[in-house]
A and B are shown apart, each in its own frame.
Chain A
Amino acid sequence: MKLPAMKLPTGKAPLNQLKKLWRMDSYKKDEWISRLFLWPSLIGVAIFFVLPFIVICYYSLINNPNQHDFVFLDNFIQLIHNSAFRTAAYNTARFSAVAVPLAVILALGLAVILECRIPLKSQFRTFFLSPMMVPVASIVLIWQVLFNYNGAINDFLAIFGVEKIDWFKSQYDQVAVILLFLWKNLGYNMILFMAALSNIPRDLLEMADIEGADPWFKFVHIKLHFLSPTILFVTILSLINSFKVFREIYLLTGDYPYEGVYLLQHFMNNAFASLDYQRLSAAAVLMAIAMVIIIAILFFIEDRFGKDVEG
């Protein structure tokens, strides 16, 4: 096949281009310049997140970084059959399944209470928000005091005749961590709900009052409906934060946690330590895919539920 002869740029062409740019009307030039503003961020994101992630996708499909043989899904299959990974994934899922709904419901409850015109509203808001600003590392000591076998919580429960519970080494191992998670995150979620509650059109609620709707009906059919975008967002946010709970667990229990709180991050840390790139890559890709699917499902649900509400 004969290619059409290409016109080589003459020496003048680039210069002309530059002149053209120079003579470009100011509107276009400005547009061009403010596009430039995006580049520092875009380049950084590309270098530190996107390009390496593409490499990770590649790593997850080959046998090892030296041979570069394609093994397709072998790494993933191995990963899924790995018992440590299973424990970690199960524990993470178990934690999120309990902590996320609690974080959403309790935060909504607190927001509703604060919106009921109770006295000292702004003080309460400050109190609820304050844990967010306390570094976890600072609070870990107290948590150990509270949840120790000889700790304050057990003493308190003993008043009601409850047997001493070994909070970190029994079936209750996630309780302390879930409470710490809620302590830290409820304030943030509550603020989001408070903002959403105050955005509900007043006339709609007044209309419902005139029609004689009881508070419960108002809550379910009007407020929840308007809140649904926020509920979606708070759920996603809490989910992401629930993956971050490794922090709290590491600070509470150190490098070798009890089995019930062995989470995906622990698994990843071990893989980092042994430089097992295939396993790391496969785990990261798998998590990214799982996250995208979960978010897509949440969006889908919200779309069905709050169709006519503008987010």
Chain B
Amino acid sequence: MIKKRYLSRGMLTLIAAIFALAFLMPTVLTITNSFMSQTELSANYGAIFSSLNDSSSYVSERVNLKFIPDEVTFSQYFTVLLQSPDYLLKFWNSVILVVPIVVLQVGIAALAAYSFFRYQGKFRTFVFFFYVILMLMPYQVMLVPNYLVAKWTGLLDSRWSIILPGCFAPFSVFLLTKFMKRIPVALIEAAKLDGASEWRIFTKVCLPQCRSALYSIAILVFIDYWNMVEQPLVLLSDTSKYPLSVYLSTINAGEVGLAFAVATIYMIPSLLLFLHGEEYLVEGITHSGSVKG
């Protein structure tokens, strides 16, 4: 009986290990490949990236998937960081799009969530329900309104056309409201009896209480926008304003090594956030787990 249990647990561990391997492999491969020299990469993948550009003819060369470079080189990084400002510029584009969105969205959402948290009533229920519906709408539906507003206000082709709608996305309002529900009401009442104003309660009682929630929501919002592709394609026509997420797909065969290095650099911010804040992230995801208010 016990032996059987051990056996099944071993099997489950094995399955988990296989999955883990499959989940880790692409990330690890990208990182290790970024340390390969261009010649080594061409030798390994030459067939693929030449057939990407000219899809009519297949080169019959085999592809070697290699985890460990023969010779570790930093020349790619050297080129990206010091010699080709293009990539760094695109990285900077990503930063100046994403950082304002994260800060403003979380800030505005904190205010709104506090309002939802403090007062109940028909209006509140209706608005909250409406936010949930809005949150569940596919991106394609929301992109058309964003485009129209940008056009009317003349913001089309400026970064604000992406940043402004991003600030008001209802997702973080929804999530923060759920987090705030766990703040003990007695705490608020006590602050009130002591004569604290609403603003004081909000900044001195409510926000410190949900510091971890703010962090976890910031991570979730960050990764969503760090990944953005649709918005710049539709709202920006000036490709020099494109974030790195879009620009990375335009690599050409001669620059595969560079592309791996840039791809790795692009993961670093989000991977650092992940390693530092995994617990918060998990908590944040856990609390997003039910649509019922």
Chain B, Cβ-Cβ closest to A244: B139
CA distance A143 to B30 in the complex (A): 10
Query: How far does the alpha carbon of A254 sit from the alpha carbon of B270 in the complex, in Å?
Result: 24
| Residue B76 interfacial (CB < 8 Å) | no
Specify which chain A residues have a CB less than 8 angstroms from the CB of B147 in the assembled complex: 272
B268 to chain A, nearest CB (A): 10
* Contacting pair A135 B30 (CB below 8 A): no
Query: In the complex, what residues of A have CB within 8 A of residue B37's CB?
Result: none
Q: Assess whether B137 is in contact with A288, with CB atoms less than 8 Å apart.
A: yes
Nearest CB of B to A123, in Å: 8
**Contacting pair A31 B119 (CB below 8 A):** yes
| Interface residues on chain B, size class | 35 or more
Contacts A37-B202, A116-B9, A129-B282 given; does A152 touch B119 at CB 8 Å: no
Binary interface encoding of chain B residues 228-255 relative to chain A, with 1 for a CB under 8 A from any of its CBs, else 0: 1110011000000000111011010000
Cβ contact of A128, chosen from B20, B27, B59, B202, cutoff 8 A:
B20
Chain B residue with the shortest CB-CB distance to A243: B138
CA distance A140 to B108 in the complex (A): 34
Give chain B interface residues in 1-31, CB to chain A under 8 Å: 9, 12-13, 15-17, 19-20, 22-24, 26-27, 29-30
> Does any Cβ of B come within 8 Å of A251's Cβ?
yes
Q: Within 8 Å CB of B290, what residues of A? A: 229-230, 233, 311
- Give the CA-CA distance A229 to B164 in the complex, in Å: 33
**Contact segment of A6-14, A17-25, A52-60, A69-77:** A52-60
- Tell yes or no: B61 within 8 A of A by CB: yes
Smallest beta-carbon distance A178→chain B, Å:
14
Give A residues with C-beta under 8 Å from B: 30-31, 33-38, 40-42, 44-45, 47-49, 51-53, 55-56, 110, 113-114, 116-120, 123-146, 148-152, 155, 183, 186-188, 191-192, 195-196, 229-230, 232-233, 236, 240, 243-244, 246-247, 250-252, 254, 264-265, 268-269, 272, 280-281, 283-284, 287-288, 291-292, 295, 311
Chain B residues within 8 Å of A, Cβ to Cβ: 9, 12-13, 15-17, 19-20, 22-24, 26-27, 29-30, 33, 45, 47-49, 51-52, 58-63, 65, 108-109, 111-112, 114-116, 118-119, 127, 131, 133-134, 136-149, 164-165, 167-168, 170, 173, 192, 197-199, 202, 223, 226-230, 233-234, 244-246, 248-249, 251, 256, 259-260, 263-264, 266-267, 270-271, 273-274, 278, 281-282, 285-286, 288-292
Q: List 22 A-B contacts (CB under 8 A).
A: A38-B111, A38-B112, A41-B109, A45-B134, A45-B168, A49-B145, A118-B13, A127-B24, A134-B27, A134-B267, A134-B270, A141-B256, A142-B33, A144-B48, A144-B52, A146-B26, A148-B48, A149-B51, A240-B138, A250-B233, A252-B249, A287-B141
